[in-house]
Chain A
C-alpha cells in the first residue's frame, strides 16, 4: 500500500479481554517496528521484525504482550488480559530494511487503545 496501515484505529475494551492490533507495512518494506505512546509521552520501543523474525523483542512490557509477522508483511500485536495501564496509542512503522543507519522508518496513524 501507499503507507503504513493500522487497524483498528480506535479500540475500547474491557479490562481482562484480549485485543489484537494489526499493521500492514509499506509494500516492499522488510523491517517492521511496534512502539507504544502513552498520553503526552514519548515513544516506547516494543519489538521489531526483520522479515518474519524478531531479533529484538526486549521492549515487550510483559508476557501478556506478543507479536508475530507472517509472509514478511502483516504483523499483529496481541495483548492478553488487558489492564488499564495498557491504554495507549500503539504505533507501527516500517522501513525498507534494517541494515544501514539511514533507513528512515515511516509510521502508521496508530491504534488508540482504551481499556476500561
Chain B
C-alpha cells in the first residue's frame, strides 16, 4: 500500500493566487514527521516545511503553510500569493519513528505546479 499519496500529477495556478497541493499518508506509527520539498527544473531538492505528528499547530514558513488534518491523515501544502518562481515539482514525504524501526523518508510521486503569468 502507498504510504504517501499525491493525487495531483499536475496543477496550474494564476500568479498571486493561492494553491493547495494534496498529500495523504498512511501509518500506524503514532510518531511521525511530514515534510514538503520543492524540486525546480534544475533538479535540487529544497526543503520547504515540516510538521510533526504531535504538533498542535499547523506549520507555517513564509508563504508556505501545511494544512495538517491528523484524523484524515492529510498534510496538504498551501502556497499563498504564488510567484512564477514557484513553478516546480513538489514532493510530500513522511518519516516514521517509533514503531517502524526504520528512519527512512518515504516520498510521494510528486505534483508538478505551473504558475501562470
Contact = CB atoms under 8 A, between A and B. Distances in A.
Interface stretch (B16-24, B64-72, B89-97): B89-97
B44 A33 contact: no
Contacts, number: 63
A105 B97 contact: no
Given A89-B43, A91-B45, A102 B52 contact: yes
A93 B32 CA distance: 19
Report, as a range, how many residues of chain A touch the other chain: 20 to 34
Nearest to B102: A56
Interface string A78-116: 000000000001010100001111111111111010000
A110 B110 contact: no
B105 interface: yes
Interface in B88-112: 91, 93, 95-97, 102-110
Interface of B: 31-33, 35, 37, 43-45, 47, 50, 52-53, 91, 93, 95-97, 102-110
Interface of A: 31, 33, 35, 41-43, 45, 48, 50, 55-56, 58-59, 89, 91, 93, 98-110, 112
